[in-house]
Amino acid sequence: MVVNDNALNQMPSGAYGSFASMLAPTEVENTMSEFDLGRRRVIQAVGAGLLLPGLAPAVIASVKDRPQLTDGVQSGDLLGDRAIIWSRCDRPARMVVEWDTRSLFPNPRRFVSPLADAGTDFTARVELTGLPADQAIFYRVQFEDAQTGVASEPWFGHLRSVPQTRRDIRFVWSGDTAGQGFGINPDIGGMRIYEAMRLRLPDFFIHSGDTIYADNPVPAQLVTESGRVWRNITSEAKSKVAETLDEFRGNYRYNLMDENIRRFNAEVPQIWQWDDHEVVNNWSPGKQLDARYKSKDIHSLVGRGRQAWLEYAPMRWQIADGGGRIYRQLAYGPMLDVFVLDMRSYRGANDDNLGDVKPFLGREQLDWLKASLKASNAQWKVIAADMSIGLEAPDGEVSPGVRRWEAVANGDPGPAQGRELEIAELLGFYGRSKCAISCS
């Protein structure tokens, strides 16, 4: 299932409704064996306003003294009996996550994160383990102040765990959040595409990159080609291009101001990958930064952009590449394997894309992909690619009349050259291995 950005202006404002306030706690109870999709929305609608039995702060304190969950919750990278839970608070604290298969948490399992502090922008994640297969998993998140032990109000989320038997799977994919200066427009109810996707009740969502537009400021308003005035909620971080680490972080915090995104994040597990706008348009090692940037060092800019992305992605951190590896494989039961690519980190400089092989995926990632595809027994193998393969994506000129290329294709009708040779090798492998593969 694919939901595209054309749905944005078709969704009615206020398409969701909160009727949980009319329900007693026993009426929102759910069981391990029944995952009522109608009731699944009720739990999040109740949110922190419902004090569930057995839930009490570690230390009783006034609201103003408690840590604050600033950006909701997210789940991601479901794998086997595991899932990543992410959140952020406003001070040094430890995140406490409890999960259960019943919405009233009669038998909660407790997980505690390492200390979240300024070094991670107060973001935290834990990996839930021991999840029963193909079941409703309800979780609640609190932060406990590192100094006082005072606990925040809880924030609730839920997901469906990975199946172990064959069943239908529904997922959505998209990309490019808040680009070209179009941010959170209160006149239309914010980023309603996320509400449209949530209402499809997907098992998970693949975010195919451009999770932020670090190089696109968001003005208070802009005028479209048709003359329509688009108003934006704004923030300091979105007033200019991102250069400092805190400005990159602020781009993620801006998106999380949108209630559609926060509600979506609490209900739909995600698989993130990145592309260029997490740093700057069409970046590669040879990128020349424009006059908006005080420093012209693309490598330092990429480092800050990568750190912020890793801090805010609901992703399982990997040891490889100094903890910064993004490409990975996620098995979603016996039916589906998802291969998440990184088509940005290992490429050479954008150039004319002609001649001998030029790195795009890079040898290590390419060999990993071929070996992983060959070893996969899943009926469906989905390769999540953040860049187009066949479409031409020009990136200015190398010299007068010689085009520079951003993606794989080089516009030459002859045999494969440059970056195309990696893809030719991969496609040849497909043919020899007789793999059935879908590329997104």
pLDDT at 334: 95
CATH superfamily, region 17-160: Purple acid phosphatase-like, N-terminal (2.60.40.380)
Is it the case that residue 32 has pLDDT exceeding 60? no
Is the model's pLDDT at 17 over the cut of 90? no
3-state class (DSSP) for residue 98: strand
Q: Which residues are within 8 A (CB) of 329 and not within 5 positions of it... i.e. 6 or more apart?
A: 337, 338, 339, 340, 372, 376
2 pLDDT exceeds 80? no
Q: What is the mean pLDDT of residues 258-265?
A: 98
Residues 6+ apart with CB under 8 A from 56: none
Q: What angle in degrees, to the nearest 10, is found between the helix axes of 298-312 and 245-255?
A: 40
Report the chain's terminal Cα–Cα distance, integer Å: 11
- Average pLDDT over the chain reads 88
Q: Answer whether residue 37 shows pLDDT above 90.
A: no
- What are the backbone dihedrals phi and psi of residue 359, each rounded to the nearest 5 degrees, phi first? -65, 135
Please say if the pLDDT value at position 49 is more than 50.
no
- At residue 60 the predicted structure's pLDDT band, cuts being 50, 70 and 90, is low
- State the pLDDT confidence band at 21, using cuts at 50, 70 and 90: very low
CA 42 to chain centre: 24
Cα distance between residue 419 and residue 353, in whole Å: 6
Query: How is the chain split among helix, strand and coil, in percent rounded to 5?
Result: 25, 25, 50
The rounded radius of gyration (Å) of the Cα atoms in the chain is 22
Query: For the residues 370-390, what does the mean pLDDT come to?
Result: 95
213 φ, ψ (degrees, to nearest 5): -120, 85
Residue 39 pLDDT exceeds 50? no
- Measured between alpha carbons, how far is residue 204 from residues 42, 75, 145 in Å? 19, 10, 32
Question: How is the chain split into domains, by residue range?
Answer: 17-160, 171-439
pLDDT at position 347? 98
Classify the C-alpha dihedral 402-403-409-412 as positive or negative: negative
- Three-state SS at 426: helix
pLDDT band at 434 (very low <50, low <70, confident <90, very high): low
Model confidence at 59, pLDDT cuts 50, 70, 90, reads low
Model confidence at 65, pLDDT cuts 50, 70, 90, reads confident
With a cut of 70, say whether residue 15 has pLDDT above it.
Answer: no
CA pair distance 215, 264, nearest whole angstrom: 25
Q: What are 86-139's pLDDT values in tens digits?
A: 999 999 999 999 999 999 999 999 999 999 999 999 999 999 999 999 999 999
Determine contact, residues 310/247, Cβ cutoff 8 Å: no
Rounded Cα–Cα distance for residues 116 and 120 (Å): 7
Tracing tokens 């801006």 back to the chain, one arrives at: 254
| Lowest-pLDDT range of 40-44, 65-69, 75-79 | 40-44
Q: What is the pLDDT of residues 186-212, one digit of tens each?
A: 999 999 999 999 999 999 999 999 999
> Are 169 and 335 spatial neighbours (Cβ–Cβ below 8 Å)?
yes
Q: From 138, 151, 146, select the one nearest 122 (Cα to Cα).
A: 146
Residue 10 has pLDDT above 70, yes or no: no
Task: Copy the structure tokens of residue 436.
Answer: 């059935």
pLDDT of 435 reads: 58
Q: Using the 8-state DSSP alphabet, how is residue 137 labeled?
A: E
> What's phi and psi for 363, nearest 5 deg?
-60, -45
Q: What is the pLDDT of residue 5?
A: 36
d(CA 139, CA 161) in angstroms, rounded, equals: 12
Residue 298 in contact with residue 289, Cβ under 8 Å? yes
CA–CA dist 13, 9 (Å, integer):
9
On the CB side of 14, CA atoms within 13 Å amount to 4
Q: Find where tokens 């187009």 sit.
A: 388
pLDDT for 55 beyond 70: no
Q: Are 152 and 68 in contact (CB under 8 A)?
A: yes
Mean pLDDT within 216-220: 98
**Whether pLDDT at 410 is above 90:** yes
Element (H, E) at 352: none
CATH architecture for the domain at 171-439: 4-Layer Sandwich (3.60)
Using alpha carbons, select from 366, 353, 354, 332 the residue that is nearest to residue 407.
Answer: 353
DSSP state letter for 184 = B
Nearest to residue 28, comparing CAs of 141, 131, 105?
Answer: 105
| pLDDT the model gives residue 48 | 36
- Among residues 137, 385, 143, the alpha carbon closest in space to that of 268 is found at 137
Beta bridge partners of 127: 84
> For the segment 233-260, what is each residue's pLDDT rounded down to a tens digit?
999 999 999 999 999 999 999 999 999 9
